[in-house]
Amino acid sequence: MKSFLYRHAVVLFLGVMIGRGILGMVTVKGIQMFNPTLSVQKDLGWLIMLLYAVCAVLAVKWVRIDKEIGLIKPSVKEWYMWLPVLIIPLTLAFYLGFHSPWSHVPFLLIAALGVAINEEILFRGILLRAMLPFGKAVAIIIPSLLFGATHLGNIFVGADVSFALFQFAWTFIGGMALTAMRLQNKSLLPAIGFHFILDAIEYAATGEYGVHSIQYSLGWLSIFVLLNLAFLIYALYGLKKETHKISVAKNTIPAN
């Protein structure tokens, strides 16, 4: 089984997605048997996100692809290249402000960390590894399209429809940017760190686990899409530059 999943990363991806969903549902139902007043969105979201992250980490460690997908210590340079992208969470903080009670913030931060670890391992780790044999363009687009599509499911759990549609747009675009950045890094940890910062600010500002029923202005939603588009341009430029540098280095190696 382990060797099969190592060779078939798409099956591993689907297995983790389905398995964590079943485990999360069973956990929620079990807790609600003792306290029916608890809900996923208001009370248990942090626990479910943490559980998802643990499932993802254990899966890649069990199959022994954790280092292969980038769960290794990053270089200093790999951190530096992410600094310009911090304009996105800073803009988010400026627009949203801060409205969560301090007692709730630790749970929101745990949820943000769980989401970052889980989604980066799944989409910029396992699925990216599965798509790379088909070329970089496919590896950038397909996982990111699926990443964006998963957020459309928020419509069915109470999210505002216009927000969810824009969320699909910026997670698809941002997903491509994250993938292009990941291809420049040997480590997945900087992508996880950026994802955590972004979600932590959003969650702490709104007091919700990423599913927002309130309406935001179309102007603001459009600005956030444009910020992610700028992120994508920056990431693709860096990837093209890195690819060219590697190509030049290979061509200048003297033949024996």
Q: How many CA atoms lie within 13 A of 212 on its CB side?
A: 20
Q: How confident is the model at residue 212, as a pLDDT? A: 66
Q: Could you tell me if 193 and 178 are in contact, meaning their C-beta atoms sit under 8 angstroms apart?
A: no
DSSP SS3 for 131: helix
Q: How confident is the model at residue 59, as a pLDDT? A: 96
pTM for the whole structure: 0.92
Residue with tokens 């942090």: 46
CA 179/CA 159 separation, integer angstroms: 26
DSSP SS3 for 159: coil
Nearest Cα neighbor of 197 from 103, 86, 106 is: 86
Give 205's contacts (C-beta < 8 A, 6+ positions apart).
92, 93, 96, 97, 98, 99, 100
Return the structure tokens found at 174: 């941002």
Ordered by start, the domain boundaries in the chain are 70-251
- Mean pLDDT per block of 10 residues along the chain (256 residues) reads 92 95 92 86 86 96 96 94 95 83 86 96 97 95 94 75 87 96 95 96 82 75 93 96 80 63
